[in-house]
């Protein structure tokens, strides 16, 4: 007979026990366990003999995605069952490092003859475990999906063609089970063609959904975000929490979310399990979006990157190696290195230095001009000393002054004629139309010969490329990188190798410049080329961008 005490009488060392019971393990009724629930942990202690050191397991409720009570079909058996699902970080079997791995604990509760009473007890436990694991989440932004009173409803959009064409298999092998364990109701939508998801979310009744989740590469999320911002009710629509599960070959946002969670790097299915876990936890955070203006195409929104030159070429040329999955970028990089070329154009930007954005008092009465390089640099240095933005200093010293003068004008930060006509989506306050000269407070990069220009707003450019190590989800900053022409193939390769660990900025490469900006404009001179936004090809030609801080919401766990 099971013995149960409703009053806590034990202490696991950290926090007091709120529930205690003695159950047998499902599948082996000879193994009896004492199970204690504290505010933070589920502690399972074997009461029957066990190998030394393995008789007590402390499971952190932070790692728990769900818990449920149930009865088996056998009416003669009065027992109820309790299953708890954990995804703790564990050492890998054959290699170093840790990754989340699934652990299920299932107990049999049969203290009483009345099946109803056993079921009630199991339900009580399941509720308590779920509530406490939900409470372990830090409530930010006022939204915690798991706190919704009704079951969560997600639309899960899967691109069956993404990556190696395995997204559906990965869903069947991992995600379906995880979402069930977390009691997340979801409707699977398999996309049939490019832009299917975009059209679908443009028309969808969003009141039906607590979240729109995509399982693909970054390209499908790009469709969803643009679909939402094309709606007449875009302001409300873009607040719908979005989620991402890596199922493609370019899984940069998934890798970024994993990175922000503080876990050590993983790839492939381990990344999927990590992102599935974060999705089940359901913590919603704000994410920046960047509006992109092209010469003749409608305005776009981007959540990840804008690239021209080496990176854009590799991304698109490597499409043909899609069958190797995320390794396609490594293969593409090596191929492109062999035919390294220079890209000519003009780059300008509005620095994200603190002075430009926050100090209203200064903004209204300072107009600064300097007419030679020496004074430009000393002015720039002075500005950088005012700012705590170290990358700004780096940039000014490296390369930033216009041909004749550096003009830093703070009389008016909002251009009088905005580049945004009557489009859905938020207005752009920092951009002038592309056929007009730049606003006077922008910095023009002196060089016109580049190997690459890359604007990033999240940390990862690919699963294994930590391009902007200090980027965060909603820092309101575009991390602008460019590599000047003249870099050797070896040095460029070294940069990309260092980028795997986010160490490229520490290589002190003289050709690499990194600066933080709020808006930028690029005018390529070469008549042909590739520009990518979030890894997707867009119209080639002049392009400009402005960051919109925290415009959308993403489930980050």
What is the DSSP secondary-structure string of 495-555? HHHHHTTT-GGGGT-TTEEEEEEEEEEEEE-SSS--EEETTEEE--S-EEEEEEEEEEEEE
Nearest residue (CB) to ligand ADP, 79 versus 456: 456
Identify residues 279-318 at the interface with ligand ADP (CB under 6 A): none
Which residue has 């936890």 as its token pair?
A: 281
Active site residue 2: no
Q: What minimum distance in Å lies between the beta carbon of 220 and Mg ion?
A: 8
372 by Cβ neighbours in 10 Å (0-12 / 13-18 / 19+) ranks as exposed
Stretch binding ligand ADP (CB under 6 A), from 61-69, 76-84, 212-220, 455-463? 212-220
Q: Which stretch binds ligand ADP (CB under 6 A): 219-227, 401-409, 467-475, 485-493?
A: 219-227
Question: Are the C-beta atoms of residues 67 and 106 closer than 8 Å to each other?
Answer: no
The interface partner of residue 216, options being ligand ADP, Mg ion, none and the CB cut-off 5 to 8 Å by kind, is ligand ADP
Site string for ligand ADP, 154-173 (x = CB under 6 A): -----xxxxx----------
DSSP-derived pairing of the beta strands 343-351 and 460-462: unpaired
Tell me the C-alpha to C-alpha distance, in Å, between residue 389 and each of 50, 200, 271, 501: 57, 42, 32, 22
The DSSP code for 10 is: -
Stretch that binds Mg ion, among 168-176, 215-223, 269-277, 441-449 (CB under 5 A): 215-223
| 550 Ramachandran zone, left/alpha/beta (phi>0; psi -120 to 50) | left
* Closest residue to bound Mg ion by CB: 219
Contact 4, 10 (CB under 8 A): no
Distance CA 64, CA 133 (A): 6
Q: Looking up tokens 């991390």, which residue turns up?
A: 479
Region from 248-256, 292-300, 352-360, 521-529 binding Mg ion, contact rule CB under 5 A: 248-256
Tell me which of 217, 243, 282, 502 binds Mg ion, using CB under 5 A.
217
Q: Is 193 in the site for ligand ADP (CB under 6 A)?
A: yes
Applying the rule CB under 6 A, the residues between 230 and 249 that interact with ligand ADP are 248-249
3-state secondary structure of 260: helix
CB closer to Mg ion out of 217 and 247? 217
Catalytic residue among 218, 355, 441, 534: 218
**Using rule CB under 6 A, residue 459 touches ligand ADP:** no
Q: Which of residues 516-535 bind ligand ADP (CB under 6 A)?
A: 535
User: In this chain, which stretch among 15-23, 211-219, 464-472, 523-531 interacts with ligand ADP, using CB under 6 A?
Assistant: 211-219
Under the binding rule (CB under 6 A), the answer on residue 191 touching ligand ADP is yes
Q: Shortest Cβ distance from residue 538 to Mg ion (Å)?
A: 13
Q: Does 218 bind ligand ADP (CB under 6 A)?
A: yes
**What number of residues does the chain have?**
557
Question: In this structure, what token pair is assigned to residue 226?
Answer: 């643009």
Structural tokens at position 264: 């050590």
Closer residue to ligand ADP (CB): 191 or 291 = 191
Question: What x-and-dash track marks residues 219-238 binding Mg ion by CB under 5 A?
Answer: x-------------------
220 binds ligand ADP (CB under 6 A): yes
> In angstroms, rounded to a whole number, what is the distance separating the alpha carbons of residues 532 and 336?
16
- Cα dihedral 469→514→485→374 (10° resolution): -160
Q: Evaluate whether 206 touches 240 at the Cβ level (below 8 Å).
A: yes
Closest CB to ligand ADP: residue number = 217
Among 78, 219, 332, 542, which residue interacts with ligand ADP (rule: CB under 6 A)? Answer: 219
Helix (H, G, I), strand (E, B) or coil at 133: helix
Of 21, 66, 250, 524, which lies in the binding site for Mg ion, with binding defined by CB under 5 A? 250
Report the residue from 118, 146, 216, 330 that binds ligand ADP according to the rule CB under 6 A.
216
How many CA within 13 A on the CB side of residue 404? 3
* Nearer to ligand ADP (CB atom), residue 38 or residue 216: 216
Number of H helices and E strands in the chain, helices first, is 15, 28
Can residue 282 be called a binding residue for Mg ion (CB under 5 A)?
no
- What is d(CA 182, CA 167) in angstroms, rounded to the nearest whole number? 20
Question: What character string, x for contact with ligand ADP (CB under 6 A) and - otherwise, covers 247-266?
Answer: -xxx----------------
For 5, 7, 96, 108, 466, the CA distances from 22, given in Å and listed in that order, are 9, 13, 36, 9, 48
**Residue ranges in contact with ligand ADP by CB under 6 A:** 159-163, 191-194, 196, 216-220, 223, 248-250, 535-536
Question: Where in the sequence numbering do the catalytic residues fall?
Answer: 218
**What residue ranges bind Mg ion (CB under 5 A)?**
217, 219, 250, 535
């Amino acid at each position: 007979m099971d013995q149960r005490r409703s009053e806590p009488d034990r202490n696991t060392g950290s926090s007091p026990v709120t529930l205690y019971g003695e159950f047998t393990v499902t599948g082996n009724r000879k193994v009896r366990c004492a199970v204690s629930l504290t505010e933070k942990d589920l502690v399972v202690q074997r009461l029957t003999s066990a190998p030394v050191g393995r008789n007590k397991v402390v499971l952190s409720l932070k790692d728990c995605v769900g818990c449920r009570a149930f009865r088996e079909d056998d009416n003669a058996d009065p027992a109820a069952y309790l299953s708890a699902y954990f995804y703790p970080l564990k050492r890998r079997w054959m290699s170093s490092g840790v990754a989340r791995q699934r652990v299920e604990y299932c107990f049999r509760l049969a203290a009483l003859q009345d099946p109803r009473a056993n079921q009630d007890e199991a339900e009580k436990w399941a509720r308590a475990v779920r509530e406490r694991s939900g409470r372990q989440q830090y409530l930010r932004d006022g939204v915690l999906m798991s706190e919704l009173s009704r079951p969560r409803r997600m639309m899960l959009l899967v691109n069956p063609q993404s990556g190696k064409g395995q997204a559906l298999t990965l869903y069947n092998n991992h995600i379906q089970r995880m979402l069930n364990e977390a009691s997340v109701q979801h409707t699977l939508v398999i996309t049939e063609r490019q832009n299917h998801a975009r059209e679908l979310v443009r028309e969808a009744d969003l009141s039906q959904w607590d979240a729109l989740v995509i399982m693909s590469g970054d390209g499908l999320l790009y469709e969803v975000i643009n679909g939402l911002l094309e709606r007449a009710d875009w302001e409300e629509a873009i607040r719908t929490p979005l989620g991402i599960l890596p199922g493609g070959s370019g899984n940069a946002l998934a890798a970024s979310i994993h990175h922000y969670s503080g876990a050590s790097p993983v790839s492939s299915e381990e990344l999927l399990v990590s992102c599935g876990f974060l999705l089940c936890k359901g913590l919603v955070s704000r994410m920046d979006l960047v509006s992109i203006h092209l010469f003749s195409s409608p305005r776009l929104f981007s959540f990840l990157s804008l690239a021209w030159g080496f990176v854009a070429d590799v991304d698109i040329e490597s499409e043909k190696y899609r069958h190797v999955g995320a390794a396609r970028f490594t293969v593409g990089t090596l191929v492109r290195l062999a035919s390294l070329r220079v890209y000519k154009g003009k780059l300008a930007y509005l620095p994200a230095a603190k002075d430009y954005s926050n100090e209203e008092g200064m903004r209204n009465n300072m107009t600064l001009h300097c007419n030679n390089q020496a004074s430009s640099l000393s002015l720039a240095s002075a500005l950088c000393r005012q700012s705590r933005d170290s990358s700004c200093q780096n940039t000014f010293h490296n390369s930033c002054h216009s041909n004749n003068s550096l003009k830093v004008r703070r009389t008016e930060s909002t251009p009088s004629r905005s580049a945004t006509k009557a489009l859905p989506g938020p207005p752009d306050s920092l951009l002038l139309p592309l056929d007009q000269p730049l606003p006077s407070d922008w910095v023009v990069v002196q060089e016109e010969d580049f190997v690459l220009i890359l604007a990033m707003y999240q940390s990862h450019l690919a699963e294994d490329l930590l391009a902007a190590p200090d980027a965060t989800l909603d820092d309101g900053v575009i991390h602008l990188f460019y590599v000047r022409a003249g870099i050797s193939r070896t040095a460029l390769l070294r940069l990309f190798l260092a980028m795997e660990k986010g160490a490229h900025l520490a290589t002190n490469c003289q050709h690499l410049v990194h600066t933080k900006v709020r808006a930028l404009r690029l005018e390529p001179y070469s008549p042909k080329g590739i520009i990518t936004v979030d890894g997707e090809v867009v119209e080639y030609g002049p392009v400009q961008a402005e960051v919109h801080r925290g415009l959308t919401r993403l489930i980050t766990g």
